[in-house]
Amino acid sequence: MPCERVRRADLRILGRMSDSAFRWDVPSDFNFARDVVDRLAAEDRRGLVAVDASLQRREYTFAEIADATKRWASVLREAGIAKGDRVLVVIPKIPEWLFCMTALLRIGAVAVPSAEQLRAKDLLYRATHSGAVGIVGHASNAAELEALRPDAPGVHAWLLVGGERAGWSNADALVRDAQGWDGAPTSPADMAYIVYTSGTTKDPKGVVHTVAWTFANRTQAATWFDVKPTDLVWCTAGTGWAKSLWNVLLGPWSCGAPIVLDEGAFVPERRMDMIRDLDVTVLCQAPTEYRLEAKLPDLGARWKLPKLRHCVSAGEPLNPEVIEIWKNAIGLTILDGYGQSENTLLVSNRPGVPVRPGSMGKPTPGHDVAVVDEHGAVCEPGEIGDIALRGNPPSLFVGYYKNDGETAGSRRGEWYLTGDRAQVDDDGYFWFVGRADDVISSGAYRIGPFEVESALIEHPAVMESAVVGSPDPDRGNIVKAFIVLRPGFEPSDALVKELQEHCKRVTAPYKYPRAIEFVAELPKTRSGKIRRVELRQRELQKKGATAASGFV
Protein backbone atom coordinates (compact mmCIF):
# COMPACT_ATOMS: atom_id res chain seq x y z
CA MET A 1 0.00 0.00 0.00
CA PRO A 2 1.29 3.50 -0.75
CA CYS A 3 0.81 4.62 2.86
CA GLU A 4 2.86 1.72 4.17
CA ARG A 5 5.58 2.38 1.61
CA VAL A 6 5.75 6.05 2.60
CA ARG A 7 5.92 5.11 6.26
CA ARG A 8 8.95 2.92 5.56
CA ALA A 9 10.52 5.71 3.49
CA ASP A 10 9.99 8.11 6.40
CA LEU A 11 11.84 5.79 8.77
CA ARG A 12 14.69 5.32 6.33
CA ILE A 13 15.13 9.07 5.80
CA LEU A 14 14.81 10.04 9.43
CA GLY A 15 17.27 7.36 10.43
CA ARG A 16 20.02 8.48 8.06
CA MET A 17 20.26 12.21 8.58
CA SER A 18 23.97 12.02 9.44
CA ASP A 19 24.74 9.48 6.70
CA SER A 20 26.97 10.90 3.98
CA ALA A 21 25.17 8.58 1.54
CA PHE A 22 21.85 10.34 2.15
CA ARG A 23 19.18 9.54 -0.45
CA TRP A 24 15.90 11.35 -0.99
CA ASP A 25 13.90 8.27 -2.12
CA VAL A 26 10.86 10.16 -3.39
CA PRO A 27 8.00 7.66 -3.92
CA SER A 28 6.86 7.33 -7.54
CA ASP A 29 3.21 8.19 -6.87
CA PHE A 30 3.43 10.36 -3.77
CA ASN A 31 0.52 12.61 -2.85
CA PHE A 32 0.74 14.64 0.34
CA ALA A 33 -3.01 14.61 0.99
CA ARG A 34 -3.39 10.86 0.69
CA ASP A 35 -0.01 9.62 1.90
CA VAL A 36 0.31 11.99 4.86
CA VAL A 37 -3.03 13.54 5.85
CA ASP A 38 -5.20 10.49 5.17
CA ARG A 39 -2.73 8.22 6.96
CA LEU A 40 -2.76 10.47 10.01
CA ALA A 41 -6.57 10.47 9.94
CA ALA A 42 -6.47 6.89 11.16
CA GLU A 43 -4.76 8.08 14.36
CA ASP A 44 -7.57 9.64 16.39
CA ARG A 45 -5.72 12.76 17.60
CA ARG A 46 -5.55 16.48 17.00
CA GLY A 47 -3.86 17.94 13.95
CA LEU A 48 -4.68 21.63 14.23
CA VAL A 49 -5.27 24.27 16.89
CA ALA A 50 -6.92 27.28 15.22
CA VAL A 51 -7.10 30.60 17.09
CA ASP A 52 -9.07 33.61 15.88
CA ALA A 53 -8.38 37.30 16.47
CA SER A 54 -10.40 37.28 19.71
CA LEU A 55 -8.36 34.31 21.04
CA GLN A 56 -11.22 31.84 20.62
CA ARG A 57 -9.78 28.48 19.69
CA ARG A 58 -10.97 25.33 17.96
CA GLU A 59 -9.16 22.03 17.62
CA TYR A 60 -9.44 19.72 14.62
CA THR A 61 -8.47 16.06 14.52
CA PHE A 62 -6.56 14.71 11.55
CA ALA A 63 -9.73 12.79 10.64
CA GLU A 64 -11.69 16.06 10.50
CA ILE A 65 -8.93 17.66 8.44
CA ALA A 66 -8.86 14.78 5.96
CA ASP A 67 -12.64 14.91 5.59
CA ALA A 68 -12.59 18.68 5.02
CA THR A 69 -9.90 18.41 2.35
CA LYS A 70 -11.87 15.72 0.51
CA ARG A 71 -14.96 17.91 0.55
CA TRP A 72 -12.91 20.81 -0.73
CA ALA A 73 -11.52 18.57 -3.49
CA SER A 74 -15.05 17.76 -4.60
CA VAL A 75 -16.05 21.44 -4.63
CA LEU A 76 -12.99 22.40 -6.66
CA ARG A 77 -13.71 19.65 -9.18
CA GLU A 78 -17.33 20.78 -9.53
CA ALA A 79 -16.05 24.33 -10.10
CA GLY A 80 -14.11 23.06 -13.12
CA ILE A 81 -10.66 22.84 -11.53
CA ALA A 82 -8.70 19.89 -12.93
CA LYS A 83 -5.23 18.43 -12.56
CA GLY A 84 -2.59 20.93 -13.70
CA ASP A 85 -4.87 23.97 -13.45
CA ARG A 86 -3.48 26.99 -11.62
CA VAL A 87 -5.53 28.43 -8.77
CA LEU A 88 -4.83 31.70 -6.96
CA VAL A 89 -5.37 31.25 -3.20
CA VAL A 90 -5.77 34.41 -1.11
CA ILE A 91 -6.93 33.30 2.33
CA PRO A 92 -5.68 34.49 5.75
CA LYS A 93 -4.41 32.23 8.53
CA ILE A 94 -7.63 30.28 9.06
CA PRO A 95 -8.34 26.53 8.73
CA GLU A 96 -9.88 26.95 5.27
CA TRP A 97 -6.46 27.89 3.92
CA LEU A 98 -5.05 24.54 5.01
CA PHE A 99 -8.09 22.66 3.73
CA CYS A 100 -8.03 24.36 0.33
CA MET A 101 -4.27 24.06 -0.15
CA THR A 102 -4.29 20.38 0.77
CA ALA A 103 -7.28 19.75 -1.50
CA LEU A 104 -5.42 21.29 -4.44
CA LEU A 105 -2.58 18.84 -3.82
CA ARG A 106 -5.14 16.05 -3.58
CA ILE A 107 -6.51 16.75 -7.07
CA GLY A 108 -3.16 17.59 -8.67
CA ALA A 109 -3.95 21.26 -9.28
CA VAL A 110 -1.33 23.99 -8.89
CA ALA A 111 -1.72 26.42 -6.00
CA VAL A 112 -0.55 30.01 -6.37
CA PRO A 113 -0.43 31.17 -2.72
CA SER A 114 -0.74 34.93 -2.43
CA ALA A 115 -0.48 37.23 0.57
CA GLU A 116 -3.77 38.68 1.73
CA GLN A 117 -2.23 42.17 1.83
CA LEU A 118 -1.65 42.21 -1.94
CA ARG A 119 -3.54 44.78 -3.98
CA ALA A 120 -5.45 44.30 -7.22
CA LYS A 121 -2.45 45.13 -9.43
CA ASP A 122 -0.27 42.55 -7.65
CA LEU A 123 -2.99 39.93 -7.76
CA LEU A 124 -3.73 40.56 -11.43
CA TYR A 125 -0.09 40.01 -12.32
CA ARG A 126 -0.05 36.68 -10.50
CA ALA A 127 -3.36 35.56 -11.97
CA THR A 128 -2.51 36.43 -15.57
CA HIS A 129 1.16 35.41 -15.49
CA SER A 130 0.36 32.02 -13.96
CA GLY A 131 -2.63 31.47 -16.25
CA ALA A 132 -4.91 30.89 -13.29
CA VAL A 133 -8.37 29.51 -14.06
CA GLY A 134 -9.63 29.80 -10.50
CA ILE A 135 -9.44 32.14 -7.52
CA VAL A 136 -10.23 31.20 -3.94
CA GLY A 137 -10.50 34.34 -1.84
CA HIS A 138 -11.78 35.54 1.50
CA ALA A 139 -14.47 38.09 2.27
CA SER A 140 -11.83 40.39 3.75
CA ASN A 141 -10.04 40.79 0.39
CA ALA A 142 -12.91 40.16 -2.04
CA ALA A 143 -13.01 43.79 -3.18
CA GLU A 144 -9.38 43.71 -4.32
CA LEU A 145 -9.94 40.41 -6.10
CA GLU A 146 -13.13 41.66 -7.71
CA ALA A 147 -11.24 44.61 -9.16
CA LEU A 148 -9.13 42.33 -11.34
CA ARG A 149 -12.10 40.43 -12.83
CA PRO A 150 -12.43 42.57 -16.01
CA ASP A 151 -8.76 41.99 -16.84
CA ALA A 152 -8.67 38.28 -15.99
CA PRO A 153 -11.03 36.61 -18.48
CA GLY A 154 -9.23 33.30 -18.08
CA VAL A 155 -10.48 32.93 -14.51
CA HIS A 156 -13.77 31.03 -14.60
CA ALA A 157 -14.01 29.76 -11.01
CA TRP A 158 -14.53 32.35 -8.25
CA LEU A 159 -14.93 30.85 -4.77
CA LEU A 160 -15.31 32.90 -1.61
CA VAL A 161 -14.66 31.91 2.01
CA GLY A 162 -16.10 33.78 4.98
CA GLY A 163 -19.09 35.48 3.37
CA GLU A 164 -21.27 35.93 0.30
CA ARG A 165 -20.81 38.21 -2.70
CA ALA A 166 -22.55 38.50 -6.04
CA GLY A 167 -20.68 36.67 -8.78
CA TRP A 168 -18.89 34.39 -6.33
CA SER A 169 -19.63 30.82 -5.26
CA ASN A 170 -20.09 30.43 -1.51
CA ALA A 171 -17.29 27.99 -0.71
CA ASP A 172 -18.38 27.48 2.90
CA ALA A 173 -21.87 26.33 1.90
CA LEU A 174 -20.60 24.19 -0.96
CA VAL A 175 -18.04 22.42 1.23
CA ARG A 176 -20.59 21.82 3.96
CA ASP A 177 -22.91 20.01 1.53
CA ALA A 178 -20.27 18.24 -0.56
CA GLN A 179 -19.45 14.56 -0.75
CA GLY A 180 -15.76 13.85 -0.37
CA TRP A 181 -13.43 12.93 -3.24
CA ASP A 182 -10.05 11.24 -2.80
CA GLY A 183 -8.53 13.12 -5.75
CA ALA A 184 -6.39 12.32 -8.78
CA PRO A 185 -3.12 10.38 -9.13
CA THR A 186 0.06 12.46 -8.99
CA SER A 187 3.74 11.85 -9.69
CA PRO A 188 6.91 13.56 -8.42
CA ALA A 189 7.40 15.65 -11.58
CA ASP A 190 3.89 17.13 -11.51
CA MET A 191 3.73 20.86 -10.79
CA ALA A 192 2.39 21.62 -7.29
CA TYR A 193 3.04 25.32 -6.63
CA ILE A 194 3.95 28.60 -8.25
CA VAL A 195 5.28 30.84 -5.48
CA TYR A 196 5.98 34.44 -6.46
CA THR A 197 9.04 36.22 -5.12
CA SER A 198 8.85 39.66 -3.53
CA GLY A 199 9.75 41.49 -6.73
CA THR A 200 11.76 44.24 -5.06
CA THR A 201 13.54 45.37 -8.23
CA LYS A 202 11.44 43.94 -11.09
CA ASP A 203 8.29 41.93 -11.68
CA PRO A 204 7.98 39.00 -9.25
CA LYS A 205 9.30 35.69 -10.52
CA GLY A 206 7.11 32.60 -10.36
CA VAL A 207 9.03 29.86 -8.55
CA VAL A 208 7.84 26.43 -9.71
CA HIS A 209 7.85 23.53 -7.27
CA THR A 210 6.78 19.98 -7.98
CA VAL A 211 5.15 17.20 -5.98
CA ALA A 212 8.67 15.95 -5.17
CA TRP A 213 9.25 19.21 -3.26
CA THR A 214 6.21 18.51 -1.07
CA PHE A 215 7.90 15.26 -0.05
CA ALA A 216 11.34 16.85 0.46
CA ASN A 217 10.11 19.28 3.10
CA ARG A 218 9.92 16.56 5.73
CA THR A 219 13.72 16.56 5.87
CA GLN A 220 14.07 20.12 7.18
CA ALA A 221 11.19 19.58 9.61
CA ALA A 222 12.82 16.48 11.04
CA THR A 223 16.32 17.96 11.31
CA TRP A 224 16.00 21.71 11.88
CA PHE A 225 12.60 21.70 13.63
CA ASP A 226 13.38 18.36 15.31
CA VAL A 227 9.64 17.61 15.05
CA LYS A 228 8.11 14.64 16.88
CA PRO A 229 4.47 13.49 16.68
CA THR A 230 4.03 14.57 20.31
CA ASP A 231 4.96 18.20 19.55
CA LEU A 232 2.69 21.19 18.98
CA VAL A 233 4.36 23.23 16.23
CA TRP A 234 3.74 26.92 15.63
CA CYS A 235 5.25 28.61 12.59
CA THR A 236 3.92 32.16 12.42
CA ALA A 237 4.51 32.78 8.68
CA GLY A 238 1.77 34.32 6.57
CA THR A 239 -0.13 32.21 4.06
CA GLY A 240 1.25 33.90 0.95
CA TRP A 241 4.86 32.79 1.39
CA ALA A 242 6.95 29.70 0.76
CA LYS A 243 7.84 29.50 4.44
CA SER A 244 4.20 28.77 5.28
CA LEU A 245 4.33 25.83 2.87
CA TRP A 246 7.51 24.50 4.47
CA ASN A 247 6.68 24.93 8.09
CA VAL A 248 2.95 25.46 8.52
CA LEU A 249 1.62 22.85 6.12
CA LEU A 250 4.08 20.31 4.72
CA GLY A 251 6.86 19.85 7.27
CA PRO A 252 5.08 19.35 10.61
CA TRP A 253 2.30 17.12 9.28
CA SER A 254 4.85 15.03 7.35
CA CYS A 255 6.39 14.30 10.77
CA GLY A 256 2.99 13.59 12.34
CA ALA A 257 2.80 16.72 14.51
CA PRO A 258 -0.19 19.04 15.05
CA ILE A 259 0.16 22.74 14.28
CA VAL A 260 -1.10 26.14 15.44
CA LEU A 261 -2.77 28.62 13.11
CA ASP A 262 -3.43 32.11 14.50
CA GLU A 263 -5.60 34.63 12.67
CA GLY A 264 -4.68 37.51 14.98
CA ALA A 265 -2.16 40.25 14.28
CA PHE A 266 1.29 40.06 15.87
CA VAL A 267 1.52 41.82 19.22
CA PRO A 268 4.57 40.75 21.26
CA GLU A 269 2.69 40.35 24.55
CA ARG A 270 -0.19 38.48 22.91
CA ARG A 271 2.23 36.16 21.13
CA MET A 272 4.09 35.30 24.33
CA ASP A 273 0.80 34.66 26.15
CA MET A 274 -0.30 32.27 23.41
CA ILE A 275 2.97 30.32 23.38
CA ARG A 276 2.47 29.77 27.10
CA ASP A 277 -1.28 29.10 27.10
CA LEU A 278 -1.28 26.70 24.14
CA ASP A 279 1.72 24.73 25.45
CA VAL A 280 3.61 25.20 22.18
CA THR A 281 6.68 22.95 22.06
CA VAL A 282 8.31 23.96 18.74
CA LEU A 283 8.33 27.61 17.65
CA CYS A 284 9.33 29.24 14.36
CA GLN A 285 9.12 33.03 14.15
CA ALA A 286 10.43 35.78 11.90
CA PRO A 287 13.57 37.57 13.12
CA THR A 288 11.59 40.80 13.55
CA GLU A 289 9.17 39.03 15.90
CA TYR A 290 12.00 37.66 18.04
CA ARG A 291 13.63 41.10 18.10
CA LEU A 292 10.49 42.82 19.34
CA GLU A 293 9.87 40.12 21.96
CA ALA A 294 13.46 40.48 23.14
CA LYS A 295 12.71 44.14 23.90
CA LEU A 296 9.87 43.24 26.29
CA PRO A 297 10.68 44.14 29.90
CA ASP A 298 10.96 41.19 32.29
CA LEU A 299 10.72 38.69 29.43
CA GLY A 300 11.91 35.69 31.41
CA ALA A 301 10.16 36.60 34.65
CA ARG A 302 6.81 37.33 33.04
CA TRP A 303 6.59 34.35 30.69
CA LYS A 304 7.49 30.90 31.96
CA LEU A 305 7.43 28.45 29.06
CA PRO A 306 8.14 24.99 30.47
CA LYS A 307 6.68 23.13 27.46
CA LEU A 308 8.63 25.06 24.82
CA ARG A 309 11.67 22.97 23.90
CA HIS A 310 12.84 24.18 20.49
CA CYS A 311 13.00 27.57 18.71
CA VAL A 312 14.05 28.40 15.15
CA SER A 313 14.14 31.49 12.94
CA ALA A 314 14.47 32.17 9.22
CA GLY A 315 13.95 34.93 6.69
CA GLU A 316 17.09 36.90 7.44
CA PRO A 317 19.93 36.38 9.93
CA LEU A 318 18.99 36.83 13.56
CA ASN A 319 21.32 39.06 15.55
CA PRO A 320 23.48 37.26 18.16
CA GLU A 321 22.39 39.78 20.79
CA VAL A 322 18.75 38.75 20.36
CA ILE A 323 19.68 35.08 20.53
CA GLU A 324 21.53 35.74 23.80
CA ILE A 325 18.61 37.68 25.32
CA TRP A 326 16.18 34.88 24.46
CA LYS A 327 18.53 32.24 25.83
CA ASN A 328 18.97 34.08 29.12
CA ALA A 329 15.25 34.79 29.49
CA ILE A 330 13.62 31.64 28.09
CA GLY A 331 16.45 29.12 28.42
CA LEU A 332 16.58 28.12 24.74
CA THR A 333 18.95 28.93 21.89
CA ILE A 334 17.17 30.12 18.74
CA LEU A 335 18.50 28.12 15.80
CA ASP A 336 18.90 30.14 12.61
CA GLY A 337 18.06 28.52 9.29
CA TYR A 338 18.77 29.64 5.75
CA GLY A 339 16.62 28.89 2.73
CA GLN A 340 14.68 30.58 -0.05
CA SER A 341 11.43 30.45 -1.98
CA GLU A 342 13.45 28.56 -4.62
CA ASN A 343 14.45 25.71 -2.33
CA THR A 344 13.93 24.67 1.25
CA LEU A 345 16.34 24.77 4.18
CA LEU A 346 19.89 24.73 2.78
CA VAL A 347 22.02 25.66 5.81
CA SER A 348 21.05 25.53 9.47
CA ASN A 349 21.94 25.40 13.10
CA ARG A 350 20.21 22.28 14.37
CA PRO A 351 20.40 19.54 16.99
CA GLY A 352 23.70 17.72 16.68
CA VAL A 353 25.49 20.78 15.24
CA PRO A 354 27.11 22.85 18.01
CA VAL A 355 26.01 26.47 17.66
CA ARG A 356 28.54 29.16 16.87
CA PRO A 357 26.84 32.49 17.61
CA GLY A 358 26.39 34.52 14.44
CA SER A 359 26.96 31.55 12.12
CA MET A 360 24.37 30.19 9.70
CA GLY A 361 25.39 26.67 10.70
CA LYS A 362 26.14 23.82 8.31
CA PRO A 363 24.41 22.41 5.21
CA THR A 364 21.22 20.44 5.79
CA PRO A 365 21.39 16.70 4.95
CA GLY A 366 20.79 16.05 1.28
CA HIS A 367 22.26 19.38 0.16
CA ASP A 368 25.72 19.92 -1.32
CA VAL A 369 26.13 23.61 -0.44
CA ALA A 370 29.33 25.60 -0.89
CA VAL A 371 30.62 29.13 -1.34
CA VAL A 372 31.89 29.57 -4.90
CA ASP A 373 33.75 32.26 -6.84
CA GLU A 374 32.78 33.91 -10.12
CA HIS A 375 34.06 30.87 -12.05
CA GLY A 376 32.16 28.30 -10.01
CA ALA A 377 35.22 27.12 -8.09
CA VAL A 378 34.78 26.42 -4.38
CA CYS A 379 36.26 29.23 -2.30
CA GLU A 380 38.96 28.72 0.29
CA PRO A 381 37.99 29.05 3.98
CA GLY A 382 37.51 32.70 4.89
CA GLU A 383 37.05 33.81 1.28
CA ILE A 384 33.77 35.59 0.50
CA GLY A 385 31.76 34.18 -2.39
CA ASP A 386 28.31 33.16 -3.56
CA ILE A 387 26.25 30.62 -1.63
CA ALA A 388 25.51 27.85 -4.13
CA LEU A 389 23.80 24.46 -4.26
CA ARG A 390 25.15 21.68 -6.46
CA GLY A 391 22.87 19.54 -8.59
CA ASN A 392 19.10 19.20 -8.61
CA PRO A 393 17.78 17.74 -5.34
CA PRO A 394 13.97 17.53 -5.05
CA SER A 395 14.11 20.41 -2.58
CA LEU A 396 15.19 22.78 -5.39
CA PHE A 397 12.74 24.53 -7.68
CA VAL A 398 12.58 23.40 -11.31
CA GLY A 399 12.62 26.91 -12.78
CA TYR A 400 10.97 30.30 -12.99
CA TYR A 401 7.59 30.08 -14.69
CA LYS A 402 7.67 31.44 -18.25
CA ASN A 403 11.13 32.91 -17.65
CA ASP A 404 13.86 30.81 -19.19
CA GLY A 405 16.34 33.67 -19.01
CA GLU A 406 16.11 34.06 -15.24
CA THR A 407 16.17 30.29 -14.83
CA ALA A 408 19.39 30.01 -16.84
CA GLY A 409 20.84 33.01 -15.02
CA SER A 410 20.42 31.29 -11.67
CA ARG A 411 23.00 28.67 -12.69
CA ARG A 412 26.77 28.74 -12.84
CA GLY A 413 27.75 25.41 -14.31
CA GLU A 414 26.57 22.68 -11.95
CA TRP A 415 25.70 25.20 -9.24
CA TYR A 416 22.43 26.96 -8.45
CA LEU A 417 23.28 30.48 -7.22
CA THR A 418 21.23 31.81 -4.32
CA GLY A 419 22.18 35.46 -4.82
CA ASP A 420 23.53 35.61 -1.26
CA ARG A 421 27.13 35.98 -0.14
CA ALA A 422 28.93 34.20 2.68
CA GLN A 423 32.20 32.68 3.79
CA VAL A 424 32.96 29.27 5.27
CA ASP A 425 35.37 28.73 8.14
CA ASP A 426 37.85 25.88 8.59
CA ASP A 427 35.23 23.74 10.34
CA GLY A 428 32.58 24.06 7.64
CA TYR A 429 30.39 26.68 9.31
CA PHE A 430 28.80 29.26 7.01
CA TRP A 431 28.88 32.97 7.90
CA PHE A 432 26.41 35.25 6.17
CA VAL A 433 27.69 38.44 4.52
CA GLY A 434 24.57 39.71 2.71
CA ARG A 435 22.72 39.71 -0.56
CA ALA A 436 25.15 40.05 -3.43
CA ASP A 437 23.82 43.56 -3.99
CA ASP A 438 23.73 44.37 -0.24
CA VAL A 439 27.49 44.08 0.32
CA ILE A 440 29.02 47.54 0.69
CA SER A 441 32.27 48.42 -1.07
CA SER A 442 33.83 51.27 0.88
CA GLY A 443 37.38 52.26 0.10
CA ALA A 444 39.43 49.07 0.22
CA TYR A 445 36.85 47.25 2.33
CA ARG A 446 33.84 45.05 1.61
CA ILE A 447 31.36 45.27 4.47
CA GLY A 448 28.37 43.05 5.12
CA PRO A 449 25.36 44.97 6.49
CA PHE A 450 24.41 42.23 8.94
CA GLU A 451 27.55 42.68 11.04
CA VAL A 452 26.86 46.39 11.48
CA GLU A 453 23.16 45.81 12.19
CA SER A 454 24.07 43.20 14.80
CA ALA A 455 26.37 45.68 16.51
CA LEU A 456 23.74 48.41 16.49
CA ILE A 457 20.97 46.28 17.97
CA GLU A 458 23.13 45.62 21.03
CA HIS A 459 22.71 49.28 21.97
CA PRO A 460 19.73 49.89 24.27
CA ALA A 461 18.46 52.79 22.13
CA VAL A 462 18.03 50.70 18.96
CA MET A 463 14.79 48.90 18.16
CA GLU A 464 15.66 48.02 14.55
CA SER A 465 18.22 49.04 11.97
CA ALA A 466 19.06 48.61 8.31
CA VAL A 467 22.48 49.29 6.86
CA VAL A 468 23.22 50.15 3.22
CA GLY A 469 25.90 51.79 1.15
CA SER A 470 25.50 55.52 0.48
CA PRO A 471 27.43 57.07 -2.46
CA ASP A 472 30.55 58.98 -1.44
CA PRO A 473 32.99 60.79 -3.76
CA ASP A 474 36.06 59.63 -1.85
CA ARG A 475 35.26 56.12 -0.69
CA GLY A 476 32.82 55.07 -3.40
CA ASN A 477 30.32 54.30 -0.67
CA ILE A 478 30.09 54.87 3.04
CA VAL A 479 28.17 52.76 5.53
CA LYS A 480 24.85 54.36 6.38
CA ALA A 481 22.46 53.12 9.07
CA PHE A 482 18.73 53.76 9.19
CA ILE A 483 17.63 53.34 12.80
CA VAL A 484 14.27 52.97 14.55
CA LEU A 485 14.67 54.04 18.17
CA ARG A 486 13.08 52.40 21.16
CA PRO A 487 10.46 54.37 23.12
CA GLY A 488 12.11 56.84 25.48
CA PHE A 489 14.97 57.74 23.15
CA GLU A 490 15.11 60.82 20.93
CA PRO A 491 17.30 61.56 17.88
CA SER A 492 20.27 63.80 18.61
CA ASP A 493 23.80 64.48 17.44
CA ALA A 494 25.03 63.09 20.74
CA LEU A 495 23.20 59.82 20.14
CA VAL A 496 24.65 59.59 16.63
CA LYS A 497 28.15 59.88 18.07
CA GLU A 498 27.36 57.40 20.83
CA LEU A 499 26.10 54.80 18.34
CA GLN A 500 29.13 55.25 16.11
CA GLU A 501 31.53 54.79 19.02
CA HIS A 502 29.53 51.78 20.15
CA CYS A 503 29.97 50.14 16.73
CA LYS A 504 33.70 50.80 16.77
CA ARG A 505 33.92 48.97 20.09
CA VAL A 506 31.95 45.86 19.14
CA THR A 507 32.99 45.34 15.51
CA ALA A 508 35.91 46.28 13.26
CA PRO A 509 36.21 50.09 13.42
CA TYR A 510 36.21 50.50 9.64
CA LYS A 511 32.64 49.11 9.58
CA TYR A 512 31.08 51.82 11.72
CA PRO A 513 28.21 53.80 10.11
CA ARG A 514 29.59 57.15 9.00
CA ALA A 515 26.03 58.31 8.41
CA ILE A 516 23.01 57.64 10.61
CA GLU A 517 19.42 58.57 9.88
CA PHE A 518 16.66 58.05 12.43
CA VAL A 519 13.37 56.87 10.93
CA ALA A 520 9.93 55.96 12.25
CA GLU A 521 9.92 52.60 10.46
CA LEU A 522 11.92 50.55 7.99
CA PRO A 523 10.59 49.53 4.57
CA LYS A 524 9.83 45.81 4.53
CA THR A 525 8.44 43.18 2.22
CA ARG A 526 5.06 41.74 3.05
CA SER A 527 6.86 38.78 4.61
CA GLY A 528 8.70 41.11 7.02
CA LYS A 529 12.15 41.22 5.41
CA ILE A 530 13.89 44.59 5.38
CA ARG A 531 13.95 46.11 1.88
CA ARG A 532 17.49 47.43 1.81
CA VAL A 533 17.12 47.89 -1.94
CA GLU A 534 14.59 50.66 -1.31
CA LEU A 535 16.95 52.41 1.07
CA ARG A 536 19.81 52.11 -1.43
CA GLN A 537 17.66 53.59 -4.16
CA ARG A 538 16.70 56.43 -1.84
CA GLU A 539 20.37 57.19 -1.27
CA LEU A 540 21.15 57.09 -4.98
CA GLN A 541 18.37 59.59 -5.65
CA LYS A 542 19.86 61.91 -3.05
CA LYS A 543 23.33 61.69 -4.62
CA GLY A 544 24.86 65.11 -4.78
CA ALA A 545 22.48 66.47 -2.15
CA THR A 546 23.41 67.55 1.33
CA ALA A 547 24.70 64.67 3.42
CA ALA A 548 22.28 62.92 5.74
CA SER A 549 22.06 63.81 9.39
CA GLY A 550 24.84 62.28 11.42
CA PHE A 551 27.44 62.23 8.63
CA VAL A 552 30.94 62.05 10.01
Write the pLDDT tens digit of every residue in 119-133: 888 899 999 999 999
Q: Per-residue pLDDT for 547 more than 70?
A: no
- Residue 123 and residue 116 in contact, taking contact as beta carbons nearer than 8 Å: no
The predicted model scores a pTM of 0.82
Give the range among 8-12, 64-68, 359-363 with minimum mean pLDDT.
8-12
| Contact partners, residue 550, CB within 8 Å, separation at least 6 | 493, 496, 500, 513, 515, 516, 517
User: Does some domain include residue 513?
Assistant: yes
Q: What is the mean pLDDT of the chain?
A: 90
Kind of pairing between the strands at 233-235 and 411-412: unpaired
| Contact partners, residue 7, CB within 8 Å, separation at least 6 | 39
Q: Which residues of 104-129 are buried (b: 16+ CB within 10 A; e: fewer)?
A: bbbbbbbbbbbbbebebebbbbbbeb
pLDDT level of residue 468 (50, 70, 90 thresholds): very high
Whichever domain contains 531, its CATH number is 3.30.300.30
User: Does some domain include residue 38?
Assistant: no
Q: Which residues span the domain enclosing 514?
A: 447-541
User: Does some domain include residue 521?
Assistant: yes
Tens-digit pLDDT profile for residues 124-165: 999 999 999 999 999 999 999 999 999 999 999 999 999 999
Q: Per-residue pLDDT for 300 more than 80?
A: yes
- Distance, in Å, from the CA atom of 51 to the CA atom of 45, rounded to the nearest integer, reads 18
For residue 127, give the nearest of 460, 137, 451 by alpha carbon: 137
- Residue 197 and residue 527 in contact, taking contact as beta carbons nearer than 8 Å: no
Alpha-helix runs per DSSP H in 119-232: 120-130, 142-147, 171-177, 211-223
- Residue 350 and residue 17 in contact, taking contact as beta carbons nearer than 8 Å: no
- Residue 215 and residue 188 in contact, taking contact as beta carbons nearer than 8 Å: yes
Tens-digit pLDDT profile for residues 74-91: 999 999 999 999 999 999
**Structural domains in the chain (count):** 1
- Residue 137 and residue 59 in contact, taking contact as beta carbons nearer than 8 Å: no
- Distance, in Å, from the CA atom of 263 to the CA atom of 48, rounded to the nearest integer, reads 13
- Residue 269 and residue 302 in contact, taking contact as beta carbons nearer than 8 Å: no
**C-alpha torsion angle, residues 444, 449, 450, 454 (rounded to 10):** 90
What does the pLDDT read at residue 149?
Answer: 95
